[in-house]
Amino acid sequence: GESVGLHLPTLSVQEGDNSIINCAYSNSASDYFIWYKQESGKGPQFIIDIRSNMDKRQGQRVTVLLNKTVKHLSLQIAATQPGDSAVYFCAEAVTTDSWGKLQFGAGTQVVVTP
Amino acid sequence: DGGITQSPKYLFRKEGQNVTLSCEQNLNHDAMYWYRQDPGQGLRLIYYSQIVNDFQKGDIAEGYSVSREKKESFPLTVTSAQKNPTAFYLCASRGPGNTEAFFGQGTRLTVV
């Protein structure tokens, strides 16, 4: 079936550098995308979202880019900090689907090194 | 404070027993979801509900059951038919307009 997936299972980043986490999706009907951060033993926390009528959206130290042509989503974290160490998930949804269920990718473990 | 609460945080079950995981939200959200997470893996959808008294199977519903008698509550029962129930269970809710889902802090279920 169609699914959301990530290119890299683990990303090691030096403190202060920028991080880029990638996500590929295959459901062309998806029009809403979310990035979540999950720390060990906790529930996922919302980071940023983007709708398909946008290519880019910025938050505090984070930017999400959406390339609908190649069905690719990325999360950029500026000036990565030790507190950014976590697993990051992308999720997709079809907002015209009345049930609106979210499908998640496998996740990327980000490790910030000093 | 508004939020979504799961209980208990840790749960131990003997083989052959049914157990029920609680999920309560006071966000006035219509949609609620249950996900299962295994170590080093992503979230897999078990069941979801858009309105009271209605719910749909997700990708891995076998061995699980749910109810949605109240808007605020969406309990998940892990039955003895679930052969490998040890996992981290996450409940989520979403408001109108298909916005982001808010997650609880999870219940870690271990079969002993």
Sort out which chain A residues have CB atoms less than 8 A from B31's CB and list them: 99-100
3-state helix, strand, coil split of chain B in percent (to 5) is 0, 55, 45
How would you class A41 by CB atoms within 10 Å of its CB: exposed for 0-12, middle for 13-18, buried for 19 or more?
Answer: exposed
Give the mutation candidate from B7, B32, B43 for the A interface (greatest A CB count, under 10 A).
B43
Report the alpha-carbon distance of residue B51 to residue B18 in Å, rounded.
25
| pLDDT digits 0-9 by tens, B12-62 | 999 889 999 999 999 999 999 999 998 878 899 999 998 999 999 999 999
Is the CB of residue B64 less than 8 Å away from at least one CB of chain A?
no
Distances (CA, A) of B21 to B3, B9, B35, B36: 17, 9, 12, 12
| pLDDT digits 0-9 by tens, A3-18 | 454 444 899 999 999 9
Highest mean pLDDT among A5-9, A31-35, A97-101, B72-76: B72-76
Q: What is the pLDDT of residue A106?
A: 83
| pLDDT digits 0-9 by tens, B77-112 | 999 989 899 999 999 998 877 678 899 999 999 998
Closest CB from A43, A95, A100 relative to B103: A43
Give which of B70, B76, B74, B73 is closest to B89, Cα–Cα: B76
